[in-house]
């Protein structure tokens, strides 16, 4: 069973009608919350653009080759592996106010701009409702905006809200 969870195969048809096999290794996503929360830098960066360990681990899980894959191919692979893993991508941390909350919310809670930019660029599902708080990412941000009204944090969260809305994020009531 572990083998099936660790290595999943996805077949993608390209424009020429050929089938491409993408190999996922979701075991590489272990400790993803730690890498996001600590903003751990990659000691051996994949490129000048990808300098964080969370990026390396997500790319390894998705079978991304930053030297060969286009940005569209990277997004396709990452969103594919994320679809398999998103129910397990939960975080618990004293600095995070959602028990068993998604790593996406944790990225917002830690105000990690690069992570927010990446999840949008990689077309990760932004509309998952967490069972623990019954909220989507936007619902969580709206709640945080109300809590931080009148502060500089509110302005940052408003910026996240605008970016995520433009990327297709919705409130639970809109799903």
Per residue in 39-88, pLDDT tens?
Answer: 999 999 888 889 999 999 999 999 999 999 999 999 999 999 999 999 99
Residue 21: the pLDDT is 59
Task: Using DSSP, state whether 171 is helix, strand or coil.
Answer: coil
Residue 14: the pLDDT is 42
Cβ–Cβ < 8 Å for 57, 69: no
Residue 20: the pLDDT is 53
Q: Which residues sit opposite 13 in a β-bridge? A: 19
Over 90: is that where the pLDDT of 123 sits?
yes
Average pLDDT for 142-161: 95
How far apart CA 6 and CA 26 sit, in angstroms, is 5
Over 70: is that where the pLDDT of 19 sits?
no
Task: Identify which has the larger pLDDT, 47 or 98.
Answer: 98
Helix/strand/coil percent split, the chain, to 5: 50, 10, 40
CA 141 to the chain's CA centroid: 15
């Amino acid at each position: 069973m572990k083998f099936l969870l660790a290595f999943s195969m996805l077949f993608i048809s390209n424009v020429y009608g050929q089938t491409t096999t993408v190999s996922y290794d979701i075991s590489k996503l272990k400790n993803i919350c730690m890498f996001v929360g600590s903003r751990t830098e990659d000691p051996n960066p994949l490129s000048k653009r990808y300098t964080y360990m969370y990026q390396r681990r997500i790319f390894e899980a998705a079978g991304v080759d930053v030297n060969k894959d286009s940005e569209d191919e990277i997004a396709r692979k990452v969103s594919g592996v994320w679809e398999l893993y998103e129910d397990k991508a939960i975080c618990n941390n004293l600095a995070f106010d959602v028990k068993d909350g998604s790593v996406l919310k944790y990225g917002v809670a830690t105000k990690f701009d690069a992570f927010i930019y990446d999840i949008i660029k990689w077309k990760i599902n932004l509309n998952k409702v967490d069972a623990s708080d019954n909220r989507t990412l936007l619902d969580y941000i709206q709640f945080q905006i109300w809590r931080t009204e009148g502060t500089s944090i509110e302005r940052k969260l408003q910026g996240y809200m605008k970016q995520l809305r433009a990327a297709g994020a919705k409130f639970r009531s809109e799903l």
